[in-house]
Amino acid sequence: MAALKKLPIGIENFEEMRREGFYYVDKTRLIEQLLAQWTKVNLFTRPRRFGKSLNMSMFQSFFEIGRDQTLFDDLYISGNHALCEAYQGKFPVVSLSLKGINGTTYEEARRFLVKTINEEARRLSLLSSSENLDEADLELFDQLRRKDMTNDSLVYSIRELTELLEKHYGEKVIVLIDEYDVPLAKANENGYYDEMVLLLRNLFENGLKTNNSLKFAILTGCLRVAKESIFTGLNNFKIDSITDKSFDETFGFTDTEVKALLHYYGQDVHYETVKEWYDGYRFGSADVYCPWDVINYCSDHRADDNLAPKNYWANTSGNNVISHFIDSINEPQKLTKIELERLVNGGMVQKEINEELTYKELYSSIDNLWSTLFMTGYLTQRGEPDGNRYHLVIPNMEIRNIITTHILKMFKESIKNDGESVNIFCCALLNQKPEIVERCFTEYMRKTISIRDTFVQKPTKENFYHGLLLGILGYKENWSVSSNRESGDGFADILIQIEDENVGIVIEVKYAEDGNLEKACENALNQIVDRRYAEALEQEDIHTILKYGIACYKKKCRVVMAIAEI
């Protein structure tokens, strides 16, 4: 029996994926679609981790002179013989990835960009021995390999590379620029945005606008940045974003592709979980999954079939847009808070989306933040838009978890400055006053959002309120607080040991689906007893153990208590 193909975690090189036996979801139809409707400059914008870099590597492997054409055997594009005959392996290519241009200063970022040009020039080192280049050409090429490249050489570097390649091969050149907007994002974060805009504007204008050696160019990025900022005057410019129906299935995995992948690895049983957690993105008229999530989930579950789903996408970025959005929700913006609550609970909001923002504008207003959340993948569309007004939803459970995690983080930050309320709450727990615990926790819940609706599974709702409790208890000095600690015949939600008082506290949190708080509290206390959650505290020779059942429903709670004297 043949060994299964390896899962391509972190593999963005098409040739490596095909040669080294990695599982490849065939996206080569994108080549056919591009050639059917390409313009001089083509920009694809998609959220991170949706296969942009791999598709760019695929383009290079297909078009570039001297590449191994057998890499495309048995793939979709190989069936289009006329297209392959006309385009495959027929063009010189300049390929640049700007994802590494992340300097903390303009000078550092510029050095990184020079290094990127140097590397591409070294990759094209056959030009240094070309009989078709004269002495002046060779001197020009030598300047493109220098670390001390002048500013003139840098901003003309793409254009000059294409001119030299055309002179060597006698063919116009295809230019590929991956993650074109990363330098802008980093510049905006670190305070040198205007300088970087000017540098990239000059680089792109010289390389893409007035370049007679250019066959066509393809760029990818996360955001569709306003043309006025870096693409000034590019009349031969076509943008394909997440709202466009062309190319809508070429970035991300379709449902059919996910089913095939899971079946190949014998994980059909996980289909519904994968769909609930990682599907739900709407690009154009296609529903797609995040490839990064699906591949990582499949890999983890080949090793451990019982693992719970994870937020894989959250770990690939700082999620700054969510932090900016949640930080912007304060008392004067109660409507926005209500809208966030509606989204988290599976609802929908309608917002006007502006896809042509500069990076300076992304966080400048709550309206721009809605647009940024949409373009970066935290929100997606449902139904047909009304002009620029879109019906927005959270795409899946993973993004919902990312958002609620940030809400809990914000809640914990606010708790830091609320020592008096924390002491009142904790003293009420210790002094056996459930009515005060109930009042305090209800007040805390009013300050954040509520979790409800069938979109959110019951255990997840309980986890949210569990997180609120831990946020409060975490700032009580001299209390040892454990979460989901093994005790008795299961895992107690929260165990607290207060050594100075020789007192222990067991807390079980329930979400009252039907709104019956009394019954949910009773079930919580019964679970503490039936599963012997107090056992871990008893083994520490604690003589008084307080058992609390806390039930929540939207922004209401009920607290009941029982005492166990050991």
Please report, for the domain that includes residue 44, its CATH number. Answer: 3.40.50
Bridge pairing between strands 503-511 and 490-498 = antiparallel
Q: Measured between alpha carbons, how far is 192 from 194 in angstroms, rounded to an integer?
A: 6
DSSP element (H, E) containing 471: helix 458-473
Domain shared by 308 and 322, yes or no: no
287 near 280, Cβ under 8 Å? yes
In this predicted structure, what is the pLDDT of residue 436? 96
Beta bridge partners of 214: 173
Domain shared by 202 and 310, yes or no: no
Q: Measured between alpha carbons, how far is 343 from 345 in angstroms, rounded to an integer?
A: 5
And the tokens for 142? Answer: 């030598």
- Residue 6 belongs to a domain: no
In this predicted structure, what is the pLDDT of residue 167? 97
Which among 176, 205, 240 is the end of a domain? 240
Q: Which of 258, 318, 268, 324 is nearest to 292 (CA)?
A: 258
Q: Measured between alpha carbons, how far is 76 from 64 in angstroms, rounded to an integer?
A: 19
And the tokens for 347? Answer: 């609802």
In this predicted structure, what is the pLDDT of residue 227? 64
In this predicted structure, what is the pLDDT of residue 46? 94
- Residue 408 belongs to a domain: no
DSSP code, position 91: B
Q: Measured between alpha carbons, how far is 191 from 211 in angstroms, rounded to an integer?
A: 31
Q: Which of 545, 565, 549 is nearest to 557 (CA)?
A: 549
In this predicted structure, what is the pLDDT of residue 554? 82
365 — alpha (psi -120 to 50), left (phi > 0) or beta?
Answer: beta
DSSP code, position 210: S
- Residue 246 belongs to a domain: no
Q: Is 490 helix (H, G, I), strand (E, B) or coil?
A: strand
Domain shared by 326 and 308, yes or no: no
Domain shared by 484 and 519, yes or no: yes
Residues of the chain with pLDDT under 70: 1, 226-228, 315-319, 329-335, 453-459, 565-566
Longest dimension (CA), the chain: 95
DSSP element (H, E) containing 174: strand 173-178
And the tokens for 98? Answer: 């700007």
Domain shared by 76 and 131, yes or no: yes
Domain shared by 30 and 179, yes or no: yes
Vertex 272, ends 266 and 277: CA angle to 5°?
110
- Residue 324 belongs to a domain: yes
Beta bridge partners of 389: 352, 386
Domain shared by 206 and 284, yes or no: no
- Residue 406 belongs to a domain: no
Q: Is 59 helix (H, G, I), strand (E, B) or coil?
A: helix
In this predicted structure, what is the pLDDT of residue 144? 96
Whole-angstrom CA distances from 101 to 20, 208, 299, 314, 359 are 29, 20, 30, 21, 16
| Residue 355, domain extent | 318-398
- Residue 341 belongs to a domain: yes
Q: Measured between alpha carbons, how far is 52 from 56 in angstroms, rounded to an integer?
A: 6
Q: How many of the other CB atoms lie within 10 Å of CB of 263?
A: 11
Could you read off the pLDDT of 67-78 as tens digits, one per residue? Answer: 999 999 999 999
Q: Name the phi and psi angles at 232, rounded to 5.
A: -55, 125
Domain shared by 363 and 295, yes or no: no
- Residue 331 belongs to a domain: yes
In this predicted structure, what is the pLDDT of residue 1? 60
Domain shared by 134 and 116, yes or no: yes
In this predicted structure, what is the pLDDT of residue 129? 95
User: b/e map of 279-317 (b: 16 or more CB within 10 Å)?
Assistant: bbbbbbebbbbbbbbbbbbbebbeeeeeeebebbbbeee
Domain shared by 439 and 554, yes or no: yes
Question: What pTM was computed for the model?
Answer: 0.88
Domain shared by 174 and 99, yes or no: yes
- Residue 514 belongs to a domain: yes
The 3-class SS string of 12-55 reads CCHHHHHHCCECCCCCCHHHHHHHHHCCCEEEEECCCCCCHHHH
Domain shared by 99 and 207, yes or no: yes
Which among 290, 315, 340 is the end of a domain? 315
Number of domains forming the structure of the chain: 4
DSSP code, position 206: I
